Amino acid sequence: MSAKEIDDDWGEELEIEPLDELETVEEQAAWAPPEEKPGEVAKRVVSDAEAGWRLDLFLAAKFPQYSRVLIRKVIQAPDGVDVDGKHGKPSFRLKPGSVVSFKLVEPPRESPIPEDIPLDVLYEDDDLAVVNKPADMVVHPARGHWSGTLVGALANRFAGQLSSNRGPARPGIVHRLDRDTSGAIIVAKNDLAHARLAALFEEKRIQKEYFAIVLGTINADREIVDMPIGHHPKYRVKMAIAPNDPEAKPAQTYFETLERFRGFSTVRCLPKTGRTHQIRLHLAHLGCPILCDKLYGGRSTITFDEIAGKHDRSPQAREDETTEPIPALARQALHARKITFEHPTTGETLEIEAPIPHDLQQTLDALRLYRALDK
């Protein structure tokens, strides 16, 4: 069995392997041979249950102290990893009885600095938590965003209680949301729960529901967009609909129109896959980009005056104003509203809902006031 973890940094689904045969985190730690140190070559034999696993995922399961990114770098090094004496690629599929040799490296010490940032915890138990991530918060530290991250807030709120599957820089992180996307995100509190949650993601047994406000009126009540997504040929930060790109990945999103206004709509979004910027791209493909999505919609803010239709006043009237127009929204109007999944330990079905945040609600109220179709 394999499992996938969604990671916007890679623009793909990163797979990991659950350790179902290990009943507790303590058993998982005790299973690893002792006294293995950086610089030594550690060997692992592929069991029948692990046949068909990718090489990178096998190593990620056997050496949870390393992040998947670091493991891939070691595999790609000339003398980092071999399978039965031969060099293998990260995607190499393993056979039962094969011996995998892995040259241990010093794990990076990149533990996040705990930050006292308030968190809206929607659900919590011994294995996991579901947090309502605010907009304008990066999930984990990266270039240009070393503080104010969700990881820093989690390290403060759940000190010593987070999974280590993704390495010291991303404790507890099972999946991600874009910086400007708010809403429900699952956090794993131990490695076994993390692996099982990731397996649920791969098996498409975790359902994520998003709420979006879009520009334009969607004619269909329901729509399925099935268009592959690849990297943009010119702009590094963008993805693109790429039906002719052999490297593009399949992507499907189900949309349901909730309300229509003059020039706007609200939409329920159910992604069937987890590609980078998938919902944003698919809505733009329908001709209705997400409101205030600068990357795919062209602008990042909208004011109450614009919603009310006052943006077309004369230049003289605008010059006479003594105050700046009040922004109704200054980030993409996308919210992870609900997440439904099977608890990794109890098997109970959890349905966790994140309330619509204030900025989206006030925008929606303004649309109902000024943009209703009967006005």
Overall size of the chain counted in residues = 375
d(CA 121, CA 365): 26
Per the listing, tokens 């997440």 go with 339
Which helix H or strand E contains 128, and what residues bound it?
strand 128-133
Task: Report helix, strand or coil for 211.
Answer: strand
Dist CA 202 CA 73 (whole Å): 23
Helix (H) or strand (E) holding 212: strand 207-215
Catalytic annotation, pick one of 7, 178, 293, 359: 178
Which alpha helices (DSSP H) does 77-189 contain, by range?
Answer: 150-157
Q: Which residues contact 176 (CB under 8 A, 6 or more apart)?
A: 6, 7, 8, 139, 185
**Three-state DSSP state, 349:** strand
The yes-or-no answer on residue 180 being catalytic is no
**Nearby residues of 174 by Cβ (< 8 Å), 6 or more positions away:** 5, 163, 186, 187, 188, 194, 197, 198, 201
The Cα–Cα gap between 185 and 131 comes to 5
**Cα separation of 165 and 154, whole Å?**
15
* Selection from 30, 25, 42, 105 nearest residue 69 by Cα: 105
Calpha distance 122→354 (Å, rounded): 7
d(CA 365, CA 139) in angstroms, rounded, equals 29
| Residue 57 vs residues 61, 89, 203, 206: alpha-carbon distances, Å | 6, 11, 16, 20
Rounded Cα distance, 239 and 371, in Å: 32
Catalytic residues: 178
